[in-house]
Structure 1
């Protein structure tokens, strides 16, 4: 791989040894024959429960709506793709606009719904914030197309090298190790630990780093988890950078067999508490079929657990605006056939099933 800095900064990371990156503590996750068995089961499973029976409703967005939106407005565009209007500019996490979260577009997990706005209709993006290199978080086609309207790409060590290899100028790529901070247009971004893994083929073993992100606007603190299992790093992040006005935590595509690298719903609640979070917005669900649980289980479980534990939960429909200055309690939009706000929403139609 090439590098944005010319001297392979990943090799200097305390997390990089023996030719690969490592977690602080090795997580429990399937490997070897167990992993192959899981892949086989996943390929031939009954998807009648893991995919919605009809297209989910989304709230459509236009560039004009986004430009007129109040500062501090957050939009979930699907899976872990979140568009944020902060300090007058737009910022985006883990953008995936392709139909499939896959190395090819003729096979692999297919979107349940279209994105609420086309990629070409997005406004200029101050920075794209990447958590790791898996296909449901780092989509080459999306990133390459976004390059024309994005100023800066923030990435973990090694992930930035991939971007440069795809033709993005090295001067626009910032690669960070855990606990490193960079400022972009008045916002502070700190790459914080996560417990996960990386690689885009069976032949790669953790060639790039995985991170979570702390975003500080000067007025608000946000936390974006990327993908991670539950670990004591959340408490450390909370001590160093919390409390947080909003936590964006992965809650979906989980299973007891890989709980070391993807949190179970009960662990999401605990992570939010460890971080000192005020609101919780679950992500990593309602977009792709990536596990064995029913497609709506993550939302139902988060709704029940938040009520049980007194956590302030918000779960907007895909494309629906959330304001940082106005708490919006979660509503079970996924149970409804018609959108909650008829004047601004449409029921999406899709050939995704």
Structure 2
């Protein structure tokens, strides 16, 4: 015990680096940096927390720098002391990336869709708009709720559904899509796609951007085959993805089902769900160069972040059509309640003695 050896002193830098990078839990790196001054210097000086985050989320390679918000008690570097300024920059990176690594694995898992942006095509607007995909129910007020593409003779024509997430930076783990079964058509056909692909990125602020270049995609998933079944189908990403910019697009590739009425191919979706960890307000981004996707990663460790689900994927749409549907639902509920109350009042023969006896028995219990 008395002759214990610090391996960082005895091993060369590369070997020590390989040993410590075998750790995959950010909490372990933070604990190691608290063991001794030499270990702390090694962890911070070699940017191990940043390297761990880059290994977890390659999308962070586009972060040009980090910025701390509401940071109190920071010491100003000495004038002309380049080594002091460099060390403070390394310490800042260590704090931000250590907190980010913990946030990406511990913040609450919730539905991450904030609102709809648009669909590549819509057959009947607004009755069959993309807004319907935020509602988990297939039928609302006796009417089918779903999005439908326009019909195509070519089954290879793709479609896209684009959404804005609840915040500009989220960890996304899985996406679920529910193909629509047309129960009002002969044979109950299911208008699913052959496969889906997920894109994530941020808006392109360039004024001369074409329709195809409206967004800069920083992540594109592999294709996931979709079953022609009336159920919510989950597509788990190979690894959790850090969505930088808060835009998510679902590509629906290939058409399977023709509509008997016009003999055209359609894709219809009743519900879409995106599951992940929102990182705001603890973290934010500032896009520096949209074409390359470089950004500044902002961190506010004083911000209060929810550990329990604070967002619901089912009630995020804010379009007028969505509000009108909710209002109709509410009016229908109120009408039903009124009818039931009137029926109870008319049918029940009120007896004051019975009422007094019930009251006394309740309080006697």
Considering the TM-score relative to the shorter chain, is it more than 0.5?
no
TM-score by length of 2: 0.26
> Which entry has the higher C-alpha Rg, 1 or 2?
2
TM-score by length of 1: 0.26
More helix by share: 2
